[in-house]
Amino acid sequence: MTPIRITAAVALLFATSTLAVAQTEEPAPPPAPTPPATSASLTLTLESTGNIEREIVNYQCDDEQVLSVQYLNAAPNFLAIVPVDGQNLVFATTISGSGARYVAGPYEWWSHQGEATLSDLTQDEDAPPRVTCTASSNTP
Whether the CB-CB separation of 88 and 81 falls below 8 Å is answered with: yes
CATH code, domain with 82: 2.40.128.200
Give pLDDT, residue 18: 40
24 lies in some domain: no
Three-state SS string across 58-127, please?
EEEECCCCEEEEEEEEECCEEEEEEEECCEEEEEEEECCCCCEEEEECCEEEEEECCEEEEEECCCCCCC
Percent of the chain with pLDDT over 70: 78
Average pLDDT of the chain is 81
The total domain count for the chain is: 1
Whether the CB-CB separation of 64 and 50 falls below 8 Å is answered with: no
Taking only the tens place, the pLDDT of each residue in 86-137 is 999 999 999 888 889 999 999 999 999 999 999 999 999 999 999 999 999 8
Strands 100-104 and 131-139: unpaired
17 lies in some domain: no
What's the rounded mean pLDDT across residues 64-75? 95
Name which residue leads in pLDDT, 19 or 53.
Answer: 53
3 lies in some domain: no
What's the rounded mean pLDDT across residues 16-37? 59
What's the rounded mean pLDDT across residues 66-85? 96
Q: Which long-range contacts (CB under 8 A, 24 or more apart) does 117-125 make?
A: 118/67, 118/82, 118/84
98 lies in some domain: yes
1 lies in some domain: no
33 lies in some domain: no
